[in-house]
Amino acid sequence: MNHVVLTGDRPTGPLHLGHYFGSLANRVELQHRHRMYVLVADYQVITDRDLPGEIQRNITELLLDYLAIGLDPAKVMIFQHSAVPELNQLLLPFLSLVSMAELQRNPTVKDEILHSSQSAVSGLMFTYPVHQAADILFCKGTLVPVGRDQLPHVEVTRLVARRFNERYGTVFPVPEAMMGAQPSLKGLDGGKMSKSRGNSIPLKATEDETAALIRRAVTDADRRITFDEERRPGVSGLLTLAGLCLDRPPRELAEEIGDGGAARLKSVTTDAVNDFLRPIRKRRADLDEGAVRAVLREGNATARERAALTLEEVRQAMGF
């Protein structure tokens, strides 16, 4: 089947290995077989912070990450919220399709509120999943490669699509989520790997930075390395990470390391990660920032055309 694939990221900091094994690797595969849109979700940056911060810098860094992992601008439309007003306009009718109660019980939103440093929770925090429905539906997306934390948002999108179609006649497909090999990778402190929690390995980190990050990872005092996610989350997290990079089962690595202890585990993991990321980092270093910006301008123009068509269809269906 031919899909329209849509996915994206907030430009809040460098992409890391959690993103890679959660969703990025899938994208690189999918671009060869399907029409694909990748969103730089710049308006979503202000869900959990007051200011967009170094937004231009972060957007450029995100584009560099995308091209470094192998997204091909000849195949993929890369675009940003703030350049596509027609997409954003879908938010208003979509908001009318969901209840406050539904917005308030979104588990990912609840978790983000828990980890937010803001003193007040904004209205956008509760409504951005509906905006995300506009992201996915503006191009009639049918497949959404994401990590586990995004599943509730894809559910909101499915709800919005179904309800819109029921009320106004069929306009939208009901999209499906697609999770990667490791939909929720553990960070170096045993919690969920996340930009904002300082426990991640950025794709663009240098080899030395990677080694330093892994050296500081939380493990335990038991010298014998075993894979036990329940009782040894730190050790198992590193084994999982090394396993993904080496494409080998973590239990097998544990047996090999045996009595080598945390030191051996960390050196194996560091080598695995650095070997895995070397070609990606090399490609990133060779990219030209000006050319990368031009990719975004082109993607924006294409996305705008697509969004205008959908918005017109929505207006017609609703009788405006």
- Of 132, 219, 236, 269, the one binding ligand TRP (CB under 6 A) is 132
DSSP 123-181: HHHHHHHHHHHHHHHTTT--EEEE-GGGHHHHHHHHHHHHHHHHHH-S-----EEEE-S
44 binds ligand TRP (CB under 6 A): yes
In the list 150, 236, 274, 300, the residue contacting ligand TRP (rule: CB under 6 A) is 150
Interface region with ligand TRP, contact rule CB under 6 A, candidates 27-35, 57-65, 72-80, 132-140: 132-140
- Of the candidate residues 9, 42, 61, 65, the single one contacting ligand TRP (CB under 6 A): 9
Closest to ligand TRP by CB, 87 vs 311, is 87
**Are the CB atoms for 86 and 310 separated by under 8 Å?**
yes
Q: How far is the CB of 147 from ligand TRP (least distance, A)?
A: 7
Q: Tokens representing 210? A: 């990677």
Q: How far is the CB of 159 from ligand TRP (least distance, A)?
A: 15
Q: Based on the shown chain and the rule CB under 6 A, indicate whether residue 58 belongs to the binding site for ligand TRP.
A: no
CA–CA distance, 15 with 212 (Å, rounded to integer):
18
Q: Which residues contact 87 (CB under 8 A, 6 or more apart)?
A: 81, 134, 135, 138, 303, 307
Closest distance to ligand TRP from the beta carbon of 234 (Å): 25
Chain residues 214-233 in contact with ligand TRP, contact rule CB under 6 A: none
Cβ–Cβ < 8 Å for 225, 264: yes
Binding to ligand TRP (CB under 6 A) within 296-315 occurs at none
171 touches 165 (CB < 8 A): yes
- Positive/negative CA dihedral, 312, 315, 317, 320: negative
Q: Tokens 């205008």 appear where?
A: 308
x/- track of binding to ligand TRP for residues 80-119 (CB under 6 A): ----------------------------------------
Q: Which is nearer to ligand TRP, 187 or 243 (CB)?
A: 187
Q: List contacts with ligand TRP (CB under 6 A).
A: 6-10, 39, 41, 44, 132, 135-136, 144, 146, 150
